Structure 1
Amino acid sequence: MVHKIKLIQSDTVSDISNICGNINLTTSVDTLGASFNFSVARNINDSNYVVTETIKNGDIIKFQNDSTSENIFTGIIIDTTTNRFSKDIKCLDFYFYLNNNKVIKQFNELNASACIEDLLKSIGAEIGTIENIATSIDKIYKNRTVAEIIEDILKIVNEETGKKYILEIDETTFSLVPHKKIKVEVENNIFGMPVLNESIINMKNVVLVVSNDQEEESIYAEVKDSEGIKKYGMLQEIIEVDPDKDDISKVRNIASQKLSELNRVNTKVTLPVLGNDELKAGRTLEIEIKEFDIKDEFLIKSCTHTFKKGHHICNLELEVS
């Protein structure tokens, strides 16, 4: 087996690769973090399977590429189902703690980087590189998870600057980095039948920026695509900002960035390829799909790796970025 599964229980590390099967690893930009599922063979009458009975929720799992020693996944077991001859294991990476800790936070004109670092420290997360982002955050968050708050902060950054950042995890360490592109050869590894979907369900060709004060009706900025309106009809989005926004250029930039993001036909492709450990949600690929005469830059929306009988297959859900 090219990949190894290691079980960590306190100071004890066990290689359980030889008794594992039905392995899949999934990442998605919608859920944040990675999930890792597998099954372990079970036989209470055979000493070779004693370790299966010891596996419990809270144990740590590492999934590694044995040939490169690269760590692919590190996470915590959050769910176990025991059958007569197997035990099904569900794991989540350490985003689990960001998604399951609600906090109360007030940020007073604090830059985005400092806000995110403060949030990570509040739940005892290990912190790596934090990219310097000057965007000022002045907001109160109540009864929101750490992951939801970070997602909102990065949304504000994107609206004001047009730049995208992601919070990546390496084993147990979180780093805030610019959205990255990767070069992975997939064109020659495509098999099966790609599926193309094109939709205008989420298209917007008019964007208004208004106050989030319910008693104020002022429109701070408006941008539109007249040709798009003629073709598709008017599809309007409203963005709410603090009423004390006095930087007109910033407000207009927010409107322009949002129009640029939403004013398009959404193109998605489902694509099966030979497995590659570098493929994960949130990264971008430049690929050509000859069946659809498409050559473009795609965001990986979700990615599921399946490891079975020595084969590594990857199913990608892509969206033109």
Structure 2
Amino acid sequence: MHEIKIIQNNEGLDITKISGNINLTTSVDTLGASFDFTVARNISDPNFAVTESIKNGDIIKFQNIDTVENIFTGIIVDCTTNKFTKDIKCLDFYFYLNNNKVIKQFNALNASAAIENLLKDIGASTGDIENIATSITKIYRNNTVAEIIEDILKIVNEETGKKYHLVIEDTTFNLVLYKKIKAEVVDNVFGMPTLNESITNMKNSVLVVSNDQEETAIYAKAKDEEGIKKYGMLQEIIEVDPDKDDISKVRNIANTKLKELNKVTQKVSISAFGNDELKAGRILEIDLKDFGVKGEFLIKSCTHTFQKGKHICNMELEVS
């Protein structure tokens, strides 16, 4: 069973009984989760007085009271009042990363310290911060904190081949090494799954060059000759600082990016009975015999719908 609480004056008030149309959405393409719901409204009935007190800036918690698990904590960012209802939109605390622009200069600061520095600048709470030695020397102007962190982690991935991501637990941010977390559907997939296969984002040739606009030297290249013969050349260019003098590191950047982009993407859209463990970024093992598709898929986006006692999950999956 799930419960919605609103936090006002440091106290939690259960508003589950007057709430409905509950949707929780996560996506790997956007930092943070969104949580939408509707509360009933009746200005003549004191039992609905709390509805009138709900305002932007209030904190909302969504919990599974059977497992005592906090599923979502966020801030109300949008309220629409109708005659008999109030529609509420909430975002988790990534909201502050996405909506704070800063000017920042890093001079040979390691990536983990740079990210922790950014989070502290906007008053975000930090927990476990993985030690990442990659040196960051860069000036950021008019970028959001989220954009800067994304760029730093991109630099780390290109240089080391390792993926790190920022995860939030309640209101605390943790920087951790990416690892596969498997989830399962409670029951069989239902409805009409769809499969899409595409080469629109494929790259089978990668060049690494200087980001100095006056320099044209190619530092490293990586190609899939067989793929080029089959699909034609599809080339990506990666820009790096002009002082890159470690040949093996630059070659690793080219090879890592080629491995990432040189593929036919398979995407699957499915609906399933809900499970709180289903979240964007996690891995789901599926077997769709009608399509000849079986294996591990990354959950790209995931929307949980809670209505009339039913918990349904609609997901977009991609081969992991």
Q: Is this a same-fold pair by TM over 0.5?
A: yes
1:110-164 CA distance string (max 9 Å, x none)? 1111111111111110101111111111111111000000111111111111111
The aligned residue for residue 175 of structure 2 is 176
Which residue of structure 2 lines up, in the alignment, with residue 50 of structure 1?
49
Amino acid at match of 2:64: N
How far apart, in 2, do the equivalents of 1:92 and 1:150 lie? 19
The answer for the alignment partner of 1:108 in structure 2 is: 107
- Superposed counterparts of 1:113-124, under 5 Å: 113-124=112-123
Q: 1:59 to 1:188 in 2, by over 3 A?
A: closer
| 1:4-43 equivalences in 2 (<5 Å) | 4-43=3-42
Is the Cα–Cα contact under 8 Å of residues 185 and 274 in structure 2 kept in the other structure?
no
Q: Deviations over 1:84-116 (max 9, x none)?
A: 000000000000000000111111111111111
Asked if the contact 1:187/1:288 (under 8 Å) is kept, the reply is no
Aligned to 1:307: 306
- Within a 5 Å distance, the mapping from 1:149-298 to structure 2 comes to 149-186=148-185, 188-298=187-297
Alpha-carbon distance, 1:188 to partner = 4.3
Question: Offset at 1:282?
Answer: 1.6
Q: Which amino acid aligns with 2:244?
A: K
Are the aligned partners of 1:186 and 1:287 in contact in 2 as well (CA < 8 Å)? Answer: no
Aligned AA for 2:231?
Y
Q: 5+ unaligned residues in a row in structure 2: which ranges?
A: none
Pairwise CA distance, 1:187: 8.3
Structure 1 segments of 4+ aligned residues over 4 angstroms from their partners: none
Q: TM-score w.r.t. structure 2 length? A: 0.98
Which deviations, in whole Å up to 9, do the C-alpha atoms of 1:35-64 show, x marking residues without a partner? 000000000111110100000000000000
Shift of 1:10: 1.8
- Contact 2:73/2:92 (8 A) holds in 1: yes
Instruction: Please tell me whether the aligned partners of residues 187 and 287 of structure 1 are also in contact (alpha carbons under 8 angstroms).
Output: no
Q: How high is the sequence identity, in percent, across the aligned residues?
A: 77
Between the aligned partners of 1:286 and 1:249, the Cα distance in structure 2 is 36
State the 1:297 CA deviation. 2.1
Give the letter for the 1:96 counterpart: F
Cα distance, 1:176–1:57 mapped onto 2, change above 3 Å: same
AA at the equivalent of 1:219 = I
Q: Give the AA of the match of 2:100.
A: N
CA RMSD of aligned residues (A): 1.1
What are the Cα deviations for residues 280-318 of structure 1, in whole angstroms up to 9, with x where unaligned? 112222332222222222211111000000111111111
Shift in Å at residue 69 of structure 1?
1.2
| Cα distance in 2 for residues equivalent to 1:266 and 1:15 | 44
* Mapped partners of 1:187, 1:236: distance in 2: 42
Describe the superposition over 1:260-299 as per-residue Cα deviations: whole angstroms up to 9, x where unpaired.
Answer: 0111101111111111111111222233222222222221
* Contact 2:187–2:273, Cα closer than 8 Å, also in 1: no
Is the 8 Å Cα contact of residues 196 and 268 (structure 2) preserved in structure 1?
yes
1:180 deviation in Å? Answer: 2.6
